[in-house]
A and B are shown apart, each in its own frame.
Chain A
Amino acid sequence: MSKFGLITKGLLKENPTFVLVLGMCPTLATTTSAMNGLEMGLATMFVLILSNIVISLIAPVVPDKVHIPVYIVVIATFVTVLQLLMQAFVPQVYETLGLFIPLIVVNCIVLGRAEAFACKNSVGDSALDGIGIGLGFTLSLTVIGIVREILGSGSLFGWKFIPGDGILAFVMAPGAFLVLGYLMVLFNKLAKR
């Protein structure tokens, strides 16, 4: 696969949200607004790229039997680094995303990429794969966030263009499932063309 293909495949062909259907929890929980979705996507991308790089480096020397625990330790380390950095420099964002930052550890996308790609490819390709999948995830979360924010609060990235409250259900839990469901329908419909 070309280098360019590695980066763009996450956007459509191997989109982690709409095609692979991985990492549903943060996708549903943090997309109450476009900005929150974008921030969660970027946070996940940070961990994904770094863990992909390190895992592709150490994979040849890790005994097969303990490879999963080793990968989990590596991922958890980067998640903790991310937690500390966010608490120090963007405490507001850390507070909004809350529990879902530490939960990146158990996001199936990160471990999934380690197992499926990083452990058998070169460092460069693994980094690009991390960027590609990370971008795909960020894009999906932002799109869901945009739809929920427009419907739920009548604004976009905090810029309010419809006065009043909007359809509150879309900011709350049910809206997350409904929007993701209908976007998936749309994605299926368009992808089949």
Chain B
Amino acid sequence: MTEYLLIIVSAILVNNIVLAQFLGVCPFLGVSNKLSTATGMSGAVCFVITLATVVTYLINKFFLVPLGLTFLQTIAFILVIAALVQIVEIVLKKISPSLYQALGIFLPLITTNCAVLGVALNVVTKEFTFGDAAHMLNLGEATVYALATSLGYGLAMILFAGMREQLAMNDVPKSFKGLPIALITVGIMAMAFLGFSGIV
């Protein structure tokens, strides 16, 4: 049980996907202008990352590894993610139009969000140390890791959107307007998150 707790704390705070691992920065900067869109995007990302990680984990374990085709990981994963996003979009439209309205417009953007492919590849290629010895994640741990990582994405995104809304009302020097000041703000945020390192 403690193992799962460590995974969650580490993935959300210590190795935050945006602020420490630099994954999914483009949409992070792109849709964080308003709190409402940031929340919608976070929800969609959470859903897709968790689903994609589970599916790619299974494909890797029961298809690519037994056939000795692990060098096809990149190409197989990106196709699976693209297909998955399409399916999620269609299913969501059918069964829950209200959820589709909230998340729908973000879904096509997610295929090229490197956070999804990044987490999927990380889970199957990297060893993790939670507790004493290093090991590859099993399916349960991989799912929890993916969910926690995407929650970390949401946390960073929502915090940042809140700050950006405040920032928009302030008088920023002309050359700093837009992305530069946003990047500097993220830099300071990343510095704050450095304070979490070492707690796991």
Is there any pair of Cβ atoms, one from A and one from B, under 8 angstroms apart in the complex?
yes
Known: A21-B179, A73-B79. A102 touches B184 (CB 8 A): no
A1-42 residues at the B interface, CB under 8 angstroms: 21-25, 28-29
B159 at the interface (CB under 8 A from A): no
Bound CA–CA A102/B114 (angstroms): 10
Among A105, A177, A180, A184, the one with the most B-chain Cβ atoms within 10 Å of its Cβ is A177
B5-51 residues at the A interface, CB under 8 angstroms: 19-26, 29
A188 at the interface (CB under 8 A from B): yes
> B31 CB to closest chain A CB, in angstroms?
13
Contact (Cβ within 8 A) B194 A99: no
B interface: dominant SS: helix
Segment of B55-63, B162-170, B185-193 in the binding face: B185-193
B85-137 residues at the A interface, CB under 8 angstroms: 111-114, 116-118, 121-122, 125
- Chain A residues whose C-beta falls within 8 Å of the C-beta of B176 in the assembled complex: 185
A155-193 residues at the B interface, CB under 8 angstroms: 169, 172-178, 180-182, 184-186, 188-189, 192
Segment of A106-114, A122-130, A134-142 in the binding face: A106-114
B1 at the interface (CB under 8 A from A): no
Contact (Cβ within 8 A) A22 B79: no
Bound CA–CA A178/B176 (angstroms): 12
A77 at the interface (CB under 8 A from B): yes
- Chain A residues whose C-beta falls within 8 Å of the C-beta of B191 in the assembled complex: 169, 174
Pick from B19, B71, B114, B182: contact of A173, CB below 8 A. B19
- Chain B residues whose C-beta falls within 8 Å of the C-beta of A29 in the assembled complex: 21-22
B139 at the interface (CB under 8 A from A): no
> A110 CB to closest chain B CB, in angstroms?
10
Contact (Cβ within 8 A) B180 A184: yes
A121 at the interface (CB under 8 A from B): no
Contact (Cβ within 8 A) A108 B183: no
Nearest A residue (CB) for B16: A173
Among B122, B174, B187, the one with the most A-chain Cβ atoms within 10 Å of its Cβ is B187
B175 at the interface (CB under 8 A from A): yes
A interface: dominant SS: helix
Nearest A residue (CB) for B125: A99
B71-87 residues at the A interface, CB under 8 angstroms: 71-75, 78-79, 82
- Spell out B's residues near A (CB within 8 Å): 19-26, 29, 71-75, 78-79, 82, 111-114, 116-118, 121-122, 125, 174-176, 179-184, 186-188, 190-191, 193-194
29 contacts between A and B (CB under 8 A): A22-B26, A28-B22, A29-B21, A68-B82, A69-B79, A73-B75, A73-B79, A79-B74, A83-B74, A84-B71, A99-B122, A102-B73, A102-B74, A103-B117, A103-B118, A105-B74, A105-B117, A106-B117, A108-B26, A173-B22, A173-B190, A173-B193, A174-B188, A174-B190, A175-B187, A177-B186, A178-B184, A178-B188, A184-B183
| Beyond A73-B75, A84-B71, A186-B175, 10 extra complex contacts between A and B, CB < 8 Å | A21-B29, A99-B121, A102-B74, A103-B118, A105-B117, A106-B114, A106-B117, A108-B112, A172-B194, A182-B184
